[in-house]
Amino acid sequence: MKLVVLNGSPKGEKSVTLQHILWWQAGQPGVSLGISHVAFDIQVLRADPERLQQVLATVRAADALLWVSPVYHHLVPSQVFRFLDLCGEEKSQTFRGKLSAIVFSSIHYYDSTAIDWLTAVSEDLGMSVYGAFSAEMHDLGRKSERERFSAFMKGFTEAIGLDPVLPRNWPPLHATRLSPIVPQGSYRVDLGGKRVLILQDRRSTGAGMESMLARLRGAFTGGLVDLKSIEEIGIKGGCLGCCGCCFANECSWDGRDGYREFFEEHVRPADIIVYAVTIEGRAFSSDWKEYFDRSFFNTHVPVYTGKQMAWLVSGPLSALGYMRQIMQAYADVGRANPAGILTDESGDADSLGAAIDGVAWRLATWQSLGYIAPRTFAGIAGIKIFRDEVWGGMRLIFRVDHKVFKKNGTYDFPHRHWLRRIGMVLAWPLFGIKGFQRVFKARMRDEMVKPIRAVVDAEIRRQKKSSATTGESV
């Protein structure tokens, strides 16, 4: 049995995720395992077509394929995106008909969206997907988790021999219509001196997107509107996964390309950020992924706090539910305000133009009001994962994270409320008495609303007192 592993970790042989496969292989003498470090070797593969052909030949010769990767910024590292770009038209002949499986390791921060994306991509390549195994990065050290992984791989190897028909998880994408040409509008909204950054991946993104960007820029007045492209930053490579940024937010790429300077000069000072994204395949482009991955030099510090954030999307976003989750989470976890995700899928130029005006109004208005929406599950869950990981041991190296989390209240552990804990202990026996439970249930709704109602009643009294003073009626 021949298995090929496409290792998506920029750390190559030192990949944490890859150790799962090496551990499993040690007990499988009958399995021939070929490992290609497609992320670590991405610059070589880009420069040397012969090396790329060797990797693709290994895939074609294999009975099945394992994607092995960490999770970076909701998806796989940008180097995997680059590798798929390099495969070009040969993808259909190389991957079609293979059985595949996915093995991830992470801190479980949006590994679900990474699984969805790579599953959909694998199916588009003509492969069936046995399943995905997403481990916490230290799980291999736990006997129960090794047993779980062993069971996953046992089923995978059995499936290779049986070649079962597996259900498709994501329907094929339909051909994307061209973006409508949006006319210029007459609506204007005053920014009040605020600064807007509109970021696109390439200087030329098609007439439809260009018209949308022109409409958006034209809707703002009274401030600075900065239109930039990732292309002009001159990014020379993706995040290396080295965690060299952990101590003082210093990136291994600093001084080697223009990313850090761009972020400090254009992203950090912006009050409003709009990402203009053209969907390529199942996500945004490899340029975008590289850009987002490199922002990890900020580690887990919320650098978008207080900013308004919106997305202008060209392409089939409605078919990519995980991408909408990612866009929402990017603002929510970053403590920015998600002000809108606008797509061109309707094909109606006039209504799309009006919606662009509406997003411009909302961005400017919410920024002037200082409005940041309450965080939803996406933001709360993501921040709690960071909180627990940093507090639980990562603070030794992620020292900036630790200092910021202490200062901004991220360390909001419930067990730190000592009076509440003592009260719970004292009341526990009382709430176990059936008679007390009946009385409490009868008063449940009144007791739940009582503290909130007290706030409402206090405001009513305050308004009455104020109106009595001014002679107005409430």
Report the SS3 class of residue 254. Answer: strand
- DSSP result, 107-141: SSSSHHHHHHHHHHHHHHTT-EEEEEEEEETTGGG
Is 182 in contact with 151 (CB distance < 8 Å)? no
State mean pLDDT over 190-214.
92
Residue 429's φ and ψ, nearest 5 degrees, are: -60, -40
312: left (phi over 0), alpha (psi -120 to 50) or beta: beta
Rounded CA-CA distance 279/104 in Å is: 24
Report the SS3 class of residue 5. Answer: strand
State mean pLDDT over 446-451.
90
222: left (phi over 0), alpha (psi -120 to 50) or beta: left
Q: Which of 310, 355, 361, 309 is nearest to 335 (CA)?
A: 309
So what's the pLDDT on residue 473? 54
So what's the pLDDT on residue 205? 78
State mean pLDDT over 398-425.
88
pLDDT in tens, 241-258: 999 999 999 999 999 999
Query: What residues does each domain of the chain span?
Result: 2-162, 189-377, 416-470
11: pLDDT strictly greater than 80: yes
Q: Output the pTM of the full model.
A: 0.93
472: pLDDT strictly greater than 70: no
467: pLDDT strictly greater than 90: no
**H/E segment holding residue 274:** strand 272-278
Report the SS3 class of residue 296. Answer: helix
Residues 6+ apart with CB under 8 A from 135: 17, 20, 103, 104, 105, 106, 145, 149
pLDDT in tens, 132-179: 999 999 999 999 999 999 999 999 999 999 989 999 999 999 877 788
Residue tagged 């950054």 (tokens):
197
Between helix 286-294 and helix 78-87 the angle, nearest 10°, is 160
State mean pLDDT over 428-451.
92
The CATH fold of domain 189-377: Rossmann fold (3.40.50)
Rounded CA-CA distance 237/200 in Å is: 18
So what's the pLDDT on residue 174? 85
Q: What percent of the chain has pLDDT over 90?
A: 87
Residue 257's φ and ψ, nearest 5 degrees, are: -150, -175
Residue 22's φ and ψ, nearest 5 degrees, are: -65, -40
pLDDT in tens, 278-306: 999 999 999 999 999 999 999 999 999 99
pLDDT in tens, 97-130: 999 999 999 999 999 999 999 999 999 999 999 9
Rounded CA-CA distance 82/393 in Å is: 33
195: pLDDT strictly greater than 90: yes
Residue 194 in tokens:
């605020």
Rounded CA-CA distance 279/342 in Å is: 13
Pairs from 84-90 (Cβ < 8 Å, separation ≥ 24): 84/121, 84/286, 85/286, 86/45, 86/46, 86/52, 87/52, 87/56, 90/56
> 4: which strand partners?
34, 65
209: pLDDT strictly greater than 50: yes
88: left (phi over 0), alpha (psi -120 to 50) or beta: left
Alpha helices for 371-442 (secondary structure H): 377-391, 399-408, 418-431, 434-442
Q: How many other C-beta atoms can be found within 10 angstroms of the C-beta atom of residue 62?
A: 20
- Which of 1.20.58.100, 3.40.50.280, 3.40.50.360, 3.40.50.720 is the CATH number of 2-162? 3.40.50.360
> In terms of pLDDT, which residue wins out, 91 or 309?
309
Q: Which of 90-104, 326-340, 408-422, 425-439 is predicted least confidently?
A: 408-422
What are the distances in angstroms from CA 11 to CA 16, 38, 83, 188, 254? 9, 10, 15, 49, 19
369: pLDDT strictly greater than 50: yes
State mean pLDDT over 50-57.
96
Dihedral in degrees, nearest 10, Cα atoms 431, 435, 440, 441: 110
So what's the pLDDT on residue 474? 46
- DSSP result, 339-351: EEEEESTT--HHH
∠ at Cα 108 (103, 113), nearest 5°?
Answer: 70
Q: What mean pLDDT value characterizes the chain?
A: 94
